[in-house]
Structure 1
Amino acid sequence: MFYVDGHGYIDDKRIVLKIFNTIERGKLDKVNGIVVHQTGSSTSKSTFNSYKNKSANGAHFLIDKDGTIYQTASLYRVTWHVGKSQSRCFIARKCEPTEFKSIFHLEQTSSGKGRVSKMEQRKSFPDRYPINIDSIGIEIVGAAPRVEGKPIIYEPVNDKQNASLKWLVKELAKTLAVPLTEVYRHPEIGRKNETEASTAQW
């Protein structure tokens, strides 16, 4: 279990503090989930450079290729890392019939998917997946090479990264009272490439 100070920073020898206030948005009152991502770039330096932008999206942690864990945002602050969310009841096939039919039709168009996300954001947890306002994001450094004419496939998460991820998720879950059933790969709850974090293990 972590010691978290008054600023939302973790005091642990395995975590390097490298905070970017530019990716912190509003107050994070309650954590209901953890979302695992991959950066799409091959180096931590590239991600850190992007975090210097005032309008940058980002996550609370970044795991480098050598397994180093950086805390990049306070646990008490929201970061924009989930994006457009999917419907929890639709994916689980547990919506009321009228809602299921409505979401089914919206899912057929790209603009409709955005409307589904807005509908989900109006719901309370656990009727929806964890979103930006109630989740912690973990980025894993991993490139997603673009080759013309071929699908984008994220590179595999390496053993050092997976070892760090397993430890970090376990400790965060204990510290923040998040059940492991509420830890997700980004594509499971958001509109993302299916290969993102597909090889992540915790």
Structure 2
Amino acid sequence: MAVQIDTDGMIIHARVRGARSQIIERGRRSVPITGIIVHQTDADTAASSLSSYTRPKANGAHFLIDTDGTIYQTAAIYQRTNHVGPLRARCLLTGSCMPAYGPKNSGVDAMHRIEMTKPPGDRYPSNMEAVGIEMVGRARLPLGFRDPDPRKQRSAEQLRGEFGVYDTPSAAQNQSLSWLVKALEDSMQIAPGEVFRHPDASRKNPTEAQGANWNLPVTAP
């Protein structure tokens, strides 16, 4: 299900609305696209995220999917954006990590540096190789939540950041996500196994995109 992509890297299709913000773009990619990272915005509306992408030094991903399933393209595919963060070790999933990951090299920066010495297929895709897809959804504290350590005197926002649980994506969001992932895989020759939730690839809230499903049946166009 390949789709038309113009020379700037913008999808030309009725299902995708153009909302490009060059502010979040960080220069043309120097290597091929090899994967997709699925995020949630930690915001209640698409409008708030689209607005944030217009602010100086803003970061964002290439696509934004609203709760009603509307797909916005917010950056050109051929442009790198900052949306992944320091990489986790992909080899931890299979137990195949080499001794490099001892106590001295298990920190965030050290792990990222080691991972970036590996070819893309042996690690998670970084900002340079990954297309980012955001889904509107906010992390919220569970009903009746109480700070497990009141002595730290954390603010409500700090508690939400640490203990918040992300909204479950809507059925319309997951249907659009499945369509978009399939379109990107077919158009950019991305392997199906190279689609990841943000907290799998980097050190993020583990509930982010936990309800994301990009494997639903889709039909063309």
TM-score by length of 1: 0.91
1:63 aligns with one of 60, 65, 80:
65
Q: Residues 23-54 of structure 1: CA distance to partner in whole angstroms, max 9, x if unpaired?
A: 00021231110000000011111111211123
Unaligned residue ranges in structure 1 (runs of 5+) = none
Q: Give, in angstroms, the shift of residue 122 of structure 1.
A: 3.0
The alignment partner of 1:198 has SS state of coil
Residue 155 of structure 2 is matched in structure 1 by none
The alignment partner of 2:185 has SS state of helix
Output aligned runs, 1:1-202, within 5 Å: 1-28=2-29, 29-96=31-98, 98-100=99-101, 102=102, 104-107=103-106, 112-146=107-141, 149=147, 151-202=163-214
Superposition RMSD in Å: 1.5
Q: Give, in angstroms, the shift of residue 199 of structure 1.
A: 0.2
Q: Give, in angstroms, the shift of residue 154 of structure 1.
A: 0.2
Of Structure 1 and Structure 2, the greater helix share is in: 1
Q: Give, in angstroms, the shift of residue 123 of structure 1.
A: 2.5
Instruction: Please give the alpha-carbon distance, in whole angstroms, between the structure 1 residues aligned to 2:146 and 2:48.
Output: 22
- Aligned residue pairs, count: 195
TM-score by length of 2: 0.84
Higher mean Cα deviation, 1-10 or 142-151? 142-151
Instruction: Please give the alpha-carbon distance, in whole angstroms, between the structure 2 residues aligned to 1:33 and 1:6.
Output: 20
Q: Give, in angstroms, the shift of residue 148 of structure 1.
A: 6.0
CA separation of 1:148/1:20 partners in 2, compared to 1, >3 Å: closer, same or farther?
Answer: farther
Q: Residues 98-155 of structure 1: CA distance to partner in whole angstroms, max 9, x if unpaired?
A: 214x2x5543xxxx22221122223221221101000100000001125662621001
- Larger radius of gyration, structure 1 or 2? 2
Letter aligned with residue 75 of structure 1: I
Instruction: Please give the alpha-carbon distance, in whole angstroms, between the structure 2 residues aligned to 1:99 and 1:173.
Output: 33
Instruction: Please give the alpha-carbon distance, in whole angstroms, between the structure 2 residues aligned to 1:56 and 1:182.
Output: 26
The alignment partner of 1:99 has SS state of coil
